[in-house]
Structure 1
Amino acid sequence: MKTQLLILACSSFILFGCNKNTASQNAKNSTETQAASETKAIDPDRQQLMDELAEYKDNPDIPPVQEKLARAYYDMLKTGGGDLEEIRGFISELQDTEQAAVEQAAQQETPSANEQFEIRIRTITGSDATQHFGPTVIHKLEIISLNDASTTITGIKINRGNCPTGTADHYQNMGYGTVAGVFIRCDPQNIREVTLTTANGEYTFNMNGQ
């Protein structure tokens, strides 16, 4: 009988010890899991910067130095390090560089719309004037194309539309040196501004009363 009681007591002690160890291990695991969860938590500001850096840290289209630095900053943020303002400045520089590259590519793909013209006013007298309008003296605005590529003038405005114009001629498919003309119906000495419109843009010339 005493032997059975002794065996029962030992079994209870072993079982209690095992349960205690199991509870202790479970508590330890729970603490480690909570600590790991707290370590992985990243504040929103850092997460936003990480999201922005994600597209640069493995981007072969940016200089290798910037790509390496982007990766280093990303790892710093991930582990809770790094100066946020410094990293924001770096990202801003990357974005500016990227935007400049896009604009440069667009300029290379799009032909230059900067056309050149020479503007002058010619006075027609005598029989030439009589042939067109009857008066002995008329004035004509002449536009000389200085462009190798063919261009067509789609609009002519003098003094912002305050100087009336007559018929225009030779203004289509103008090559280099081609002269287009339009008769003007105001005193040429009062002309201060001429604006030409083409398919590629609008160009304004200051005449200074010539």
Structure 2
Amino acid sequence: MTDFAWDPETYERLMAEEVPDYPVLQEELLAATLRAPARTALDLGIGSGLTAARVLAAHPEATLVGVDANVDMLAAARRTLDAERTTLHQADLRDALPDGPFDLVLSMLAVHHLDTAGKADLFRRVAGVLTVGGRFVLADLVVPEDPADVVTPVDGVEDVPSPLTDQLSWLTAAGLRTEIAWRHRDLAVVTGTRTG
């Protein structure tokens, strides 16, 4: 992972330009979180907090811990989110995760910045902070089977998506029961549930 300078002022516009199905991806992530109620949630790569705000609205009993490496994005999230229900931490996805347990761990368009080993390691650590029955909802870029389905610009340095089949294998190896909640071209929403 590099230290790309995300700008909270232009983030939404950039996502709309570079990820044509960004609004649908966000809706599908939200729908996947609603399959079970959550009281404690962890957002990995919380960014400006817009997705987290929707998750908190959908889970009115939940508190949320948000993690992001970018100070400016955390400041934007702080302005967006209810301070009484949210705790924010500056950390990289390769750092230790906040202490759980969490009923819900979510990540949108952040994990594809990790290399292969980084993704597999993160999935093991996520499994370790989930409650039994807790769910990991991952909404992100994937390498599609058909190269014609690549519609999102990928630089191969900051953006290193992996095939969906590989990510499902890593989630399973971490002890999570997986399900593809939604898939379209080079985007997917995957869930991993801790069963024991």
* Structure with greater Cα Rg: 1
Higher relative contact order (CA 8 A, sep 6+): 2
Same fold by TM (over 0.5)?
no
Q: Give the TM bin, normalised by the shorter chain.
A: under 0.3
TM-score by length of 2: 0.18
More helix per residue: 1 or 2?
1
